[in-house]
Structure 1
Amino acid sequence: MLDALRGAPEHVLSMEAAMSDLLSADYTLGTETLRNTYHLGVIKNAMNKQLGSIVPDISDETTKAFGDIIGARVTDDRSLDSDSLFSGRNEDYCKINKLFTKHVVFGAVFINFFPGPLKKIAGAMFTRISGLQKRMAHHIEPLIQARSKEVERKDDMLTWLIEAAPVEDKNSAEALALRILNTFTHALLHLASKPEYLQPLRQELEEQFGDSLDVTTHQLETFDKCLKLDSFLKESQRLSGLGAYGTMIPVGAIVGTIPPAIHADERYYKNADTFDGFRFSLNRGSNDAEQSDASLRLTGLGNTYLSFGGGRHACPGRFLASVELKCMLSHVIAQYDVKMAEDGVRPPDDWFGPMCTPSAKAEVLFRRRRKGDL
């Protein structure tokens, strides 16, 4: 019934209404974020069209972030809590982003345990979104003021949001802040628990980026040729997705799909319970492939792969997410040897209601790759 679900008109099945309920949006995001979604148009149009030009910046930021967080400290085997791997360049800005995601997702799960009249009290007690929004605005407001005085237009996310925003939001740092705010950790844990994938992935990167493995020279076109890297990330999402919802029939209830059930179906995936990192790369470019090359990509859509949704509500940011994941994972592959603290054992994922996250207790050992190592 997936095609019926995707094709249903908005007045029958409303994605916006469902997300508002699921995320307790009135208490975690604010009433306007889901009701005035101009940021989605920015992602679908301006950002996706400019994706090729921002890949080098994403790659450069990835390299700097790794250097800041683990590069200078990892000389021997050391453990790193999977929850603290990335924090980026500005400490407070990165804390805001990390807290924002946790408080929206897990705050919503908690708030939804309460009956209607108590939701507001629960929201006030267990979320800090309004405080995070003001902290984010503190970082963004000077940039907005500076942009209004600049003659030369900067082509970036902040500019696109300002240009797309309604008049009342154009100079509102707090309104824009909410629209700027696990998947990589899932992939990292798969890689660390299955180190046999490091060598073939490194070999592919060497073929595309050269023997120096200078991944700071990332280009979108080069990533398109890294079929094994793309497949590894897609397989990680197949087995360790973002979550699952059941199907409820009554009017006003949430209707959704259950990705783990389809992703583990032997009719669609041979040895479906087994992680096969190169599953989706084997038939890429083959005329004999049962599926199209586009559907086999990490960003591909279809009724048997649901990580990015489908239909008109398919995730508009999946192309940017794909590039970010590839930048981060390729940097790890090129610069480090990784393994789980307990060899070959990937801790089971954590579930919070319908939300699936990587184990918060997982420990990964990093060792800087020695010169000449494959």
Structure 2
Amino acid sequence: MFDYQLTIVGLFTATYLFTLSYFSGQTRKLRHLPTAGSTLPLLSQLSSMRYLSNTRKVLEESRSKWPTSLYKVPGMLEWIVVATQPAQIEDIRKAPENVLSSTLALNEILQTQYTLGQNISENPYHIPIIRAQLTRAIPILVPEVYDEIVEAFRDLIPLTEDWSRVKTLETSMKVISRASNRIFVGLPLCRDSEWIDLSIQFTMDVVQTGNTLRLFPSFLRPFVNKVISRVGRRIGKGLNMLQSSITDRKIAIRERGTDHSDKPVDLLSWLIDGAKGPALEDWDLTSRILTTNFAAIHTSSMTLTHALYYLGAYPEYLPALRNEVERVTTREGWSKTALDQMIGIDSFMKESQRLRPMAIHLMERVAVEDYKFSDGTPIPAGTKITVDLNTHTSSKFFEDPFKFDGFRFVKMKERAKASGQVDKKFDMVTTGIDSLAFGHGRHACPGRYFAASELKLIMAYLVLHYDVTTVEEGVRPEDLYFVQNRVPNPTAELLFRRRKM
């Protein structure tokens, strides 16, 4: 009942603000762009309802009407300018942060000051740590992550002779959470079911709270947040569980220095090393660990689930993937070197990301100042900009683009090598105008190298030990959509059993 009341209040507020925005100038400043729906007060609100309830269809229709032009769609409280062309994507990629801001856009999407905290928004020092230290440490962390994956599968999907039904998204979140927390906070906390549940609950709370707050104008959000948010309580509970680890590490640093011999190699240690002033407080450290959990669990679990749905629908890929994993691990063990040589696993994951990215438009920006695209199209300050991921299914870049081909990027790498071109551009971690699942440019996902390694380890272990199929043979579970978000069916199950061949 309360959720319904919030929605009604949000709709009335949005109607008022849309009417106001028409007279305050945003509509007039963007009148040079084609519009999905009406620009008139109230009628534009009806258009926004259609966009919010069926974003995918609105974008498909708009793309068909204006195949080369920027256009605008009516969000709940603002106009959103949509880019579709490679040149437009490159313009967005090249624009500096003080012109087209990724941070402002992300803060609006997640409502960061309420969901993750002002400290995360104003001092994101954890991001360069993830981008640099975590990425550099991957070679020494792979064996630990693999060990945790083995234990997680033993606990969550025991090897059985007969088929067992498994809720795939729920299980993926637990596997990802355990494997990630092995590197975030280490043993034994990464195997504590209460900590894993908390990490997942925190992730869901951030998404739900952010989505709800965006229905309201900014002046109402502090009040609504106090009513609906459970994020602060989650951080408090996390602090109780993480407190002893933080205290022990701080004492060890004071007594033995920052580089003592048995210092844990994990994110918590790096955060303590990099923290200054208030960021060194236990609450702040806990909120950053949970924030990193949110980023890891939210994106990686959906990516993994999408890939598993494809694997279940196309089990004919299993023999070739198994052969690759067996061949490589026999030679290299479970190592970063082995992962780099699993080009079939990498291709399968990248192809799944190509067809099933986590949203149907990404690379959000907010124009900090008036901006002009390279084709001369002006965008006024304050405008939100996004990129339609239609390049993922463009025949300009891919043959038979709507078909799932798990080894598509293996073939593309082979053709590139044969012609003397760089083949790394077809790796899962490499971004481009035709590969935007991790973003693109300086704001591409800072943790994608670790995420890709983790996902490939999970997939490699799984294909080596399990048979997988869909409940209805050959039928991939349908995705769900919420505005621009694409979510793998959260209630769908796959069938698992011990490998038979």
TM-score, normalization: structure 2?
A: 0.69
Equivalents in 2 of 1:324, 1:141: separation in Å? 27
Which residue in 1 is equivalent to 2:348? 232
C-alpha distance 352-209 of structure 1, shift in aligned 2 (>3 A)? same
Which residue in 2 is equivalent to 1:112? 214
**Does residue 159 of the first structure (1) align with residue 269 of the second (2)?**
yes
Q: Which structure carries more helix by proportion?
A: 2
Map 1:148-187 → 2, pairs under 5 A: 148-150=250-252, 151=256, 152=260, 153-170=263-280, 172-180=281-289, 181=293, 182-187=302-307
Displacement of 1:105 = 2.1
C-alpha distance 27-238 of structure 1, shift in aligned 2 (>3 A)? same
> Counterpart of 1:242 in structure 2: which amino acid?
M
Which residue in 2 is equivalent to 1:209? 329
Q: Provide structure 1 residue ranges, at least 5 long, that are not aligned to the other structure.
A: none
Equivalents in 1 of 2:445, 2:338: separation in Å? 23
Which residue in 2 is equivalent to 1:316? 446
Map 1:254-333 → 2, pairs under 5 A: 254-259=384-389, 261-284=390-413, 286-288=416-418, 292-333=422-463
Displacement of 1:149 = 2.8
SS at match of 1:303: coil
SS at match of 1:179: helix
Equivalents in 1 of 2:224, 2:318: separation in Å? 45
> Is the CA contact (8 Å cut-off) linking 2:170 and 2:490 kept in structure 1?
no
SS at match of 2:251: coil
> Is the CA contact (8 Å cut-off) linking 1:106 and 1:352 kept in structure 2?
no
Aligned equivalent of 1:55, options 135, 138, 142: 142
C-alpha distance 119-280 of structure 1, shift in aligned 2 (>3 A)? same
SS at match of 2:469: strand
Displacement of 1:250 = 4.7
> Is the CA contact (8 Å cut-off) linking 1:80 and 1:365 kept in structure 2?
yes
> Is the CA contact (8 Å cut-off) linking 1:56 and 1:218 kept in structure 2?
yes
SS at match of 2:308: helix
Which residue in 2 is equivalent to 1:25? 112
Deviates more, 1:248-257 or 1:305-314: 248-257
Aligned equivalent of 2:339, options 211, 220, 223: 223
Equivalents in 2 of 1:331, 1:104: separation in Å? 30
Q: Provide structure 2 residue ranges, at least 5 long, that are not aligned to the other structure.
A: 1-87, 179-190, 294-301, 367-378
C-alpha distance 133-265 of structure 1, shift in aligned 2 (>3 A)? same
> Counterpart of 1:85 in structure 2: which amino acid?
T
Q: Which has the larger radius of gyration?
A: 2
> Counterpart of 2:126 in structure 1: which amino acid?
H
> Is the CA contact (8 Å cut-off) linking 1:337 and 1:368 kept in structure 2?
yes
Q: Which ranges of 4 or more aligned residues in structure 1 deviate by more than 6 Å?
A: none
Map 1:34-183 → 2, pairs under 5 A: 34-71=121-158, 74-86=160-172, 87=174, 88=178, 89-150=191-252, 151=256, 152=260, 153-170=263-280, 172-180=281-289, 181=293, 182-183=302-303
Displacement of 1:173 = 2.4
Equivalents in 2 of 1:15, 1:201: separation in Å? 37
SS at match of 2:169: helix
Which residue in 2 is equivalent to 1:349? 479
Deviates more, 1:82-91 or 1:153-162: 82-91
SS at match of 1:364: strand
Deviation per CA, 1:87-133, whole angstroms, max 9, x where unpaired? 23211111122122222223212221223333234333443211111
TM-score, normalization: structure 1?
A: 0.92
Deviation per CA, 1:45-90, whole angstroms, max 9, x where unpaired? 1111111000000000011111111226x44212111232142321
> Is the CA contact (8 Å cut-off) linking 2:413 and 2:423 kept in structure 1?
yes
C-alpha distance 174-60 of structure 1, shift in aligned 2 (>3 A)? same
SS at match of 2:91: helix
